[in-house]
Structure 1
Amino acid sequence: MSGPDRGQPGFEEFVAARRQALLRTAYLLTGSHEDAEDLVQVALVKAVPHWSRIADHPEPYVRKILARESVSRWRRRRWRELTTDELPDRATTPGLDHGDRLALRDALALLAPRQRAVIVLRYFDDLTERQAAEALGIGVGTVKSQTRDALARLRQLVPDVDETPDSTPTPLTR
């Protein structure tokens, strides 16, 4: 990368090492590869001015920017979203067949932005309730209630995905 990251030791290494993980999280937050790439770029640009302060442990800070920016973008753009008949390529979820993954992804897209962010941070990024609360700038109790409500909604939307055939719990039963 060139531009504002010059003179920021460790920034390029962080981006090279964690870009794919950040893109996966951003994709789950946005539901779009293009929006995910934009979201990661914005998060990294916003992190650069604070790099000297966050360089020892930048990922939580960048993840917080991703989550907050995703909610802000949704609020600004929700009235002009367009639906499509084409599904994007995506990584596979172990234990779920293709139909279940599609149903779960579609159901995730129907959640409110904060609920979606909580589910992604808690179950995809495997953050604790406290870490998710810090990333979103909300209380732990709010994370708990948003998680409860989001999981209940997902169970309504995709009732057959609660458990895989080998009885391994999916993120819906955690």
Structure 2
Amino acid sequence: MITQTRITVDDATRKVLDELSGQLSQAPSWVAQLRDEIQDEVRDITRDALTAPTKSLSKLGEIATALQAQVVSQAEALAALAAGAEREHRLLQDLQGNYSGVLAASEQAAAAAIQQRDDVHAMGEALQVANRQQEERAAQFAEALQGTHALLRELQTVQMSQRDALQSILQRVEQMSKPWWKKLF
């Protein structure tokens, strides 16, 4: 015959389990910081793009699409992390009633923490790649603006020489259109 036994947990162990449960139910502080940085980045890019020539709007669209893809992937990763944290929280609540499972739960929590650390590292690398791509796009945009400026200077030079030639032609036409007797005086 199987008899059920209840294992009691001392106050110190219960306190540790309660603290661990509370910490796992809170969102990490880097999530809010990451969200703020992404919002600042999008706001800065949008402001810069509104002052740029019309040709830069397509580049802004590319950058916005890339940022949106990054935000979506990061939101999905954060949702997965939140779901993992919720699973860990439920697991810890179950463990409070069963002291014999504490060792197994601590191993699972350690594996989850390692996975979370790896996920955060991967997101950091993705953000670095995105920053590098953004810097490259900004350099390309600056180069395109310099090219446009040079073309405008060349166009202005051509227009000035055309204006000078036209004035010269107008003076000749005016000279030729005077009656012959006015040319003598």
TM-score interval, smaller chain:
under 0.3
Q: Which structure has the greater CA radius of gyration?
A: 2
TM-score for both structures, normalised by structure 2: 0.25
More relative contact order, 1 or 2 (CA 8 Å, 6+ apart) = 2
TM-score for both structures, normalised by structure 1: 0.26
